[in-house]
Amino acid sequence: MGMTITEKILAAHAGRNEVQPGELINARIDLALANDITAPVAIREFNRIGVEQVFDRNRIALVPDHFTPNKDIKSAEQARTMREFARRFGITHYFEVGRMGIEHCLLPQEGLVLPGDLVIGADSHTCTYGALGAFATGVGSTDLAAAMATGEVWLRVPETIKVIVNGTDWNKWVGGKDLILYLIGKIGVDGALYKAIEFTGETISALSMDGRLTMANMAIEAGAKNGIFAPDEKTRAYLERRARRPYKFYSSDEEACYCEVYEFDLGDIEPQVAFPHLPENTRPLSEVGTVSIDQAVIGSCTNGRIEDLRAAAQVLRGRKVNSNVRLIIIPGTQEIYLQALTEGLIEVFIEAGAAVSTPTCGPCLGGHMGILAKGEKAVSTTNRNFVGRMGHPESEIYLSNPAVAAASAILGRLAGPEEVK
Amino acid sequence: MIIRGRAWKFGDDVDTDAIIPARYLNTSDPAELAGHCLEDADPDFPKEVKPGEIIVAGKNFGCGSSREHAPLAIKAAGVGAVVATSFARIFYRNAFNIGLPIFESPEAAERIRKDDQIKIDPDHGRIYNLTLNEEYQATAIPSFMQELLAAGGLINYVRQKVKNGV
């Protein structure tokens, strides 16, 4: 019987020849991840298990990125709890402020997640690593605690939805963000509940690694367990100077079973904007009407990579942010920040009147560095526009790609790059 | 053990930011989290919810973040159980892992009204609406997850395994 990529990776990590959707398996993990919000709870639970050591100090990644640089005393205490745990067990992949990045930008960059891996993270956007052909999924802190002790996790083998995107005739301003928002708009925020989404088709093959990471990142926004791409030459090129251990390319068999198949045409997809308060409330850019904005955020684990910053800079170069708008730009990692600096992008941003921040999840989850007041509206390249996500429960978030966010910052309203004169 | 209490009603896609907003995630103290549970969705909830009361909601309850603070806040608020049309997957795992009883039942989610008196028999997945004099069946819980519940959550289950050298 044929298997999907997801089924093959799960079978390999459960020591089995094959697995079937619906089965519960106990699987070996290649990496476990937590951040400054989820690690403290995981550490509390880990300490209850009664083991002397973590399963492997080289296969745990701890990244202080949510409320860091520490936004208040309580956040500082949480970051310290994680730091002390990392020291106590000699965790190799602990990344301190100044050397860190937003976890899902950082781990692929550092070569810590590789094709064929099984990765769990106490963060819902752990599904990002599916872009590299890994099985990666978000779990809670207790799952993470158990995995840090045993190196294993229990999983239900998901059914797979196949999403085919055809065409290579790109609208210049359409990217991975628009493809994934378009899909979520079609299938809804629970359209892939408990399931895997496998992305394929000529558009997907042509998509850059940064674009694939953006798409896989938001699989959770359709309720999916994981999003996954068959690794290819682009994946290999991305990993060339990053991977420090062997990895394995898996691909789905011809006769693999899919519970659903969706097929889209790139030609039908224009830049997308998700209106409040769910990522499924998408509209094509041409139908957004007049929505004035108070803030624009460009960054996050969804769109904080170099290609995103280049797109924003292309729109902002030689222009000014509207006097009614605060534009906040957050490179995803220190390496991306430095690259943007070398390419002159940071200069473009500052000359345009943007605030540029050290890497942090900050405003995306309403933590710090750009909280909205009552009634304020933001356009944001982040992943969620739930009620109160970025601040006051009566504020609003409109999700878009980086070029649309940049154009909107210039015009003071939701707008496309082509409207900027 | 039978769960019995008054119903609180919520809609579809109740996300983890609604259950516990990130502005309170600089702590993981359950009591502190409970004080803000669902406050953006219903400001009366954290102030008035009483031990044993039951949350009844629509589809995709607990969507969004992986924050275990969400089921922790609900549990610490004294909620006896959550009944919903469906649950987001990370919330579903987390609830079992920490021992918060949850029941998937589209029929119950549709029929139960705010303030109805509800009784749940967890062993058989039977949900009784004492106000309307109706009965609903919840989706069966996979046997491995029943083991987790019987052990008192994932940590106790793993502790047992570690102790037995498995």
For A195-254, the DSSP string reads -EEEEESHHHHHS-HHHHHHHHHGGGGGT-SEEEE---HHHHHHHTTT--S--------T
User: Sign of the CA dihedral A371, A376, A379, A384?
Assistant: positive
CB contact under 8 A, A193 and B28: no
* Longest alpha-carbon distance in chain B: 51
Write the CB contacts of A95 (distance below 8 Å, at least 6 apart in sequence). Answer: A61, A62, A63, A64, A101, A106
**Which of B28, B33, B157 is the mutation pick for testing A, counting most A CBs within 10 A?**
B28
Please indicate if any CB of chain B lies within 8 Å of the CB of A52: no
In chain B, what residues touch A225 (CB-CB under 8 Å)? 89
Nearest chain A residue to B13 by CA: give it: A189
Q: Inter-chain contact B93–A143, Cβ cutoff 8 Å?
A: yes
Q: From A229, A104, A172, A190, select the one nearest A401 (Cα to Cα).
A: A172
DSSP B152: T
- B-side interface with A, Cβ within 8 Å? 13, 15, 17-18, 21-23, 25-28, 40-41, 59-60, 63-69, 71-72, 86, 88-90, 93-94, 97-98, 142, 144, 153-155, 158-159, 161-163
Phi, psi of A215 (to 5 degrees): -65, -50
Report residue A258: phi and psi, to 5°: -120, 140
pLDDT at A184: 98
| Cross-chain CB nearest to B154 (options A38, A40, A146) | A146
Angle at Cα A157 formed by Cα A151 and Cα A163, nearest 5°?
A: 120
Whether residues B89 and A50 touch (CB distance < 8 A) is answered with no
Which of A28-42, B56-70, B140-154 shows the lowest per-residue confidence on average (mean pLDDT)?
Answer: B140-154
- Average pLDDT, rounded, for chain A: 98
The pair of three-digit structure tokens given for residue A177, joined into one six-digit string: 């963000």
Instruction: Name chain B contacts of A74, Cβ cutoff 8 Å.
Output: 26-27
Note the pLDDT tens digit of each residue in A55-77.
Answer: 999 999 999 999 999 999 999 99
pLDDT digits (tens, 9 = 90+) for A122-167: 999 999 999 999 999 999 999 999 999 999 999 999 999 999 999 9
Please indicate whether, in this complex, the C-beta atoms of B142 and A142 are within 8 angstroms of each other: no
**Portion 88-107 of A in contact with B at CB < 8 A:** none
Given this model, what pLDDT does residue B162 score? Answer: 84
Give the per-residue pLDDT at B149.
81
What per-residue confidence (pLDDT) applies to B63? 98
- A385 near B CB under 8 A: no
Give me the pLDDT at residue B142, please: 84
Q: In the structure, what pLDDT confidence band is assigned to residue B166 with cuts at 50, 70 and 90?
A: low
Q: Does A366 touch chain B (CB under 8 A)?
A: yes
Show residues of chain A in contact with B17, CB under 8 Å.
365-366, 384, 386-389
What mean pLDDT do residues A162-178 have? 96
Percent of chain B with pLDDT over 90: 86
pLDDT, position A102: 98
Residue-level pLDDT at B114: 98
Q: Is A279 helix (H, G, I), strand (E, B) or coil?
A: coil
pLDDT score of B146: 83
Is a pLDDT exceeding 90 seen at residue A182?
yes
- Closest CA–CA distance from residue A383 to any residue of chain B (Å): 10
Closest partner CB to B68 (pick from A41, A75, A190): A41
**Residue A328: strand, helix, or coil:** strand
CB B75 within 8 A of CB B96: no
Residue A322 neighbours by CB under 8 Å, 6+ apart: A409, A410, A411, A412
Mutate to test the interface with A, among B14, B89, B102 (most CBs of A within 10 A): B89
Asked if B19 contacts B38 with a C-beta cutoff of 8 angstroms, the reply is yes
pLDDT for B41 equals 95
Q: State the average pLDDT over residues B76-90.
A: 97
Instruction: State the pTM of this model.
Output: 0.97
A192-230 in b/e burial notation, b at 16+ Cβ within 10 A? bbbbbbbbbbebbeebebbbbbbbbbbbbbbbbbbbbbb
Q: Which residues of A touch B160 (CB under 8 A)?
A: none
Judge contact between A223 and B88, C-beta under 8 A: yes
Cβ within 8 Å, pair B158-A225: no
According to DSSP, the residues that pair with B63 across neighbouring strands are B15
- DSSP letter at B25? T
- ipTM, two decimals, is 0.95
Interval A245-272: pLDDT, tens: 999 999 999 999 999 999 999 999 999 9
Give me the residue from A40, A156, A194 closest to B28, CB to CB. Answer: A40
Q: DSSP label at B138?
A: P
pLDDT at B79 > cutoff 90: yes
Angle at A281 between CA A189 and CA A197, to 5 degrees: 35
| CB–CB contact B158 A146 (8 Å) | yes
Contacts of B28 in chain A (CB under 8 A): 40-41, 44, 78
A224 vs A183: CA distance, rounded Å: 12
Give kind and range of the element (H or E) at residue A302.
helix A300-303
Three-class DSSP category at B128: strand
Peptide bond between residue A277 and the one before it cis (omega within 30 degrees of 0): yes
A contacts of B89 (beta carbons < 8 Å): 193-194, 223, 225
Residue among B15, B65, B162 whose CB faces A49 most closely: B162
pLDDT, tens digit, 9 for 90 and up, residues B110-138: 999 999 999 999 989 999 999 999 999 99
Q: How many CB atoms lie within 10 A of CB A58?
A: 13
Contact A388 B18 (CB under 8 A): yes
